[in-house]
Structure 1
Amino acid sequence: MDPQEALLEIARLLERERASRYRAKAFRAAAATYAELPEDARSDLNRIQQAKGIGSSTFEVIRQALEGRTPSYLVELRGEVEPEIASELRPRLRGDLHAHTEWSDGTTPIEAMADAARALGHEYLAITDHSPRLRVARGLTAERLRTQLPQVRALSGGGLTMLTGIEVDILDDGRLDQEDRLLGELDVVVASVHSKLAMDPGPMTRRMVAAVSNPRVSVLGHMTGRLVQGERGTRPPSRFDARAVFEACAEHGVAVEINSRPERQDPPDGLLALALEIGCLFSIDSDAHAPGQLSLLDHGAQRAERAGVPAERIVTTWGLDRLLRWAE
C-alpha cells in the first residue's frame, strides 16, 4: 500500500482511540516528511531512513508498505481500535459544530481537520478553538481569532463548508470570554464551563442560565464537565438546577450538546431524558482535537438514538441553510 496512506491511517486510528497525542503526531509528521521527499527518494530506503522526522517505527511502516505488504502495526491497530458504531442516526448527521486545531489545544492545522471532515462526508465543520481565559489550552485572543477566521473560510470546498466558531468559556458570572462584537461575526458559538466546576449549585445555575440566555450562544457544550474514563482520570459532574438550565436553552433556542467523546458521555442519561422532555434542541458533536477523532460522532449518535431523541431536534442533521438561519 502507499506508505503515506499507511502512516496517515495509523495516525487516524491512534487519534480515534485517544492514544498519546505524541504518537499520532509522530506518524503524521512522518507522512508529511515522506510526501516532501523527491520522487526518486521515496523508494530508496537509505534516504528515507536518514530523513529528519522519520524514526524507527515509522520507517518500518514505510519499509513494509514499499515491500507490498500491509504494515504489521497497521494490521494490529485495525484489530484493536474499536470500529465505528453503526446506528440509524449516524448517517443522518451532516456536520459537526465542535472541533479544535493546533491554534489552541488540538494537534493539527485547520487544513488537516477539513480534509478529515471531507473524507467522512461532512457537509459542514465548525472550528471552535478555545477562548483566551483557557491559557493552558492556548485560548485565542481576539486578535488571534480575527487572524484565524479567513483561514477557516478559505478551506471550504469539495462539498464541505467550513464554519467559523469558538468554544467560549462561561465566566464565573455567566459572561462570555470574548468580545461581543467578535462573537457576532462567527457562524457558531459553543459556550462551555471549564473552571470552578465544583461551584455551589445556586451560583452555577445562574452562571449557566445567563450564558445560554446570551443571544450569541448557539450550543451549550459538555454541560456537566464530568469525566467517566480515560487517561485524565474521572471527575464528578457539576451540580446545578438542570431544569432551569434546560428551560433557558429551550426558550432561547440553544442546542444542548451531546458530546461524543466516550470519556465524557455528557450529558448523563438522566439529564438527556430531561432535556428531551423539556423540548430542547440538541447538537451531536465530536469535540475532536485531532482528525481521527471526528469519527467519534458515532458514539454520540448511538446515545441519542438509545435515548429516543428525534432526528429533527438534532441541529447537526439539518442542512446548511437551515443550520445557519438557526445559529444566526
Structure 2
Amino acid sequence: MRPTEALDEIAFLLERDLASPFKTKAFRSAIVAIAPLSDDEIATRVADGSLKRTKGIGSTTYTVIEQAVDGDVPGYLADLREKIGGPVTDAGTSLRAKLKGDLHSHSTWSDGTTDLASMARTAQRIGHDYLVASDHSPSLTIANGLSTERLEKQLVELDELNAQFDDFRMLAGIEVDILIDGELDQSDEVLGRLDLVVASVHSKLRMDSNAMTERMLAAIRHPRSNVLGHCTGRLIQGSRGTRPQSTFDAATVFAACAENDVAVEINSRPERQDPPDDLIQVALDAGCLFSIDSDAHAPGQLGLLDLGAARAEAAGIPAERIVTTWQLERLLEWAS
C-alpha cells in the first residue's frame, strides 16, 4: 500500500473511534508533508534518512511510511484494523448500504479538524455520492461560526473543489443556529444561495418547554429550513460530559416538520444518539422524513453513519422516508 493510504486509513480509524484530535493530527500532518512527493521520491528519502528530518514527520509516522515503502502493512495499522477495523456496529447494514450521502459535516472553516478537501476525499472513498459542508453560523462564536463574508469565500472554495470530481459532489450548506426567537442565524438572501440548510438549537437548551416549542416551530416554518438537527441537544456520554435533553411538545414539533417538509435528523454521534428512541417513534407516527447524518468534525467520523443507520433500522423507518437514501437530483429538488 502507498504510504499516504496507510496514513489516511490510520487517521480514519482513529477519528471514527473518536480518538483525541491531537493523536490523529500527527497522521494528517504526515499526509500533507509527503503528498507532493512521488512514491519513488518517498522511497529515496526513506533510504537516505532525509525523510526523518522532514517537517510534519514524527517517529511513529516515519515508521508507518518506512514499512509501507518496504511493501508491508504497517504494524500500527495492522493493530488498529484488528482492534477497530470492522464496522462500527453489525446492526443496520442493510439500510447503511442504501445511504448515498451525509447532510451534516464540519471543516476547519468552523470547528472541524481538517479542510474541505480532506472531508470530500474521504466521503468519496467510503462510497458517498455527496457530502454537505454545513459549518456553523455566526452566533456560535465558540465554534468559529462563519460570517456572511467567510461563508461566501467557502462557496468559492466549494466550486473549485467540485471541479476536481466527476462522480462526487460537495454541496453548499450550513448548520444554522436557531436563535432564541426562532429566527435563523443568517440572512434569507444567503440561505437562498445554499443547497441545503440544517437548523439546530445550540443555546438556552434548558428554556421552558412552551417557549422552546415556539422557538423550534418558528425555525421549522422558515421556508429555507430543510433539516431539524439534533433536536433535543442531549449528551449521554463522552469527553464533554452529559447534558439532559431539551423539553418541548414533540407531537406539535414533529407535526410541523411533516407539514413543512423538514426532515428530522437522526444524529449518528454516539454521545448524542439524538433523537431518543421514543421521539423517533413520535416523528415516525407524525409522518416525518428523516436524515441520517454523521455530524462529522473529522474525516473518519463520516463512518459514524453506521450507528445512525442501526438506530433507524431498529425503529422501522422505511428507507424511502430517509432523504439520505435518495439520489442527488431528488435530494436537491426536495431541498430547494
> Which TM-score band (shorter chain)?
over 0.9
Would you say 1:192 and 2:231 are equivalent positions?
A: no
TM-score (norm 1): 0.96
Equivalent of 1:92, from 91, 98, 106?
A: 98
The answer to whether the 8 A contact 1:273-1:307 is kept is yes
Query: What is the aligned-residue identity percentage?
Result: 59
| Structure 1 stretches of at least 4 aligned residues deviating more than 3 Å after TM superposition | 37-43
In structure 2, relative to structure 1, the CA distance for the partners of 1:238 and 1:54 (3 Å cut) is same
Equivalent of 2:274, from 266, 280, 303?
A: 266
Aligned partner letter, 2:158? V
What does the per-residue CA deviation read over 1:124-149, in whole Å, with 9 as the maximum and x for residues that have no partner? Answer: 11100000111111100001001111
Aligned partner letter, 2:17? E
The answer to whether the 8 A contact 2:266-2:274 is kept is yes
Task: Give the drift of 1:42.
Answer: 3.5
Aligned partner letter, 1:184? G
The answer to whether the 8 A contact 1:27-1:58 is kept is yes
SS of the residue 2:117 aligns to:
helix
Aligned partner letter, 2:269? R
Q: 1:23 aligns to what?
A: 23
Q: CA RMSD in A?
A: 1.4
How far apart, in 2, do the equivalents of 1:193 and 1:64 lie?
A: 47
The answer to whether the 8 A contact 2:3-2:69 is kept is yes
In structure 2, relative to structure 1, the CA distance for the partners of 1:233 and 1:82 (3 Å cut) is farther
Would you say 1:131 and 2:137 are equivalent positions?
A: yes
After TM superposition, the structure 1 = structure 2 runs for residues 129-208 of structure 1, keeping only pairs within 5 Å, are: 129-156=135-162, 157-208=165-216
TM-score (norm 2): 0.94
Query: Which ranges of structure 2 fall in alignment gaps of 5 or more residues?
Result: none
Task: Give the drift of 1:41.
Answer: 4.8
Q: 2:45 aligns to what?
A: 44
Would you say 1:297 and 2:317 are equivalent positions?
A: no
Task: Give the drift of 1:3.
Answer: 1.8
Task: Give the drift of 1:154.
Answer: 3.0
What does the per-residue CA deviation read over 1:101-158, in whole Å, with 9 as the maximum and x for residues that have no partner? Answer: 1100111111111111111221111100000111111100001001111221332323
SS of the residue 1:36 aligns to:
coil
Q: 1:32 aligns to what?
A: 32
How far apart, in 2, do the equivalents of 1:158 and 1:231 lie?
A: 39
In structure 2, relative to structure 1, the CA distance for the partners of 1:247 and 1:72 (3 Å cut) is same
Query: Which ranges of structure 1 fall in alignment gaps of 5 or more residues?
Result: none
After TM superposition, the structure 1 = structure 2 runs for residues 234-245 of structure 1, keeping only pairs within 5 Å, are: 234-245=242-253
Bigger mean CA offset, 232-241 vs 65-74? 65-74
How far apart, in 2, do the equivalents of 1:66 and 1:232 lie?
A: 39
How far apart, in 2, do the equivalents of 1:18 and 1:126 lie?
A: 21
Task: Give the drift of 1:78.
Answer: 1.2
Task: Give the drift of 1:82.
Answer: 5.8
Would you say 1:2 and 2:2 are equivalent positions?
A: yes
SS of the residue 1:163 aligns to:
strand
SS of the residue 1:6 aligns to:
helix
Equivalent of 2:295, from 287, 292, 302?
A: 287
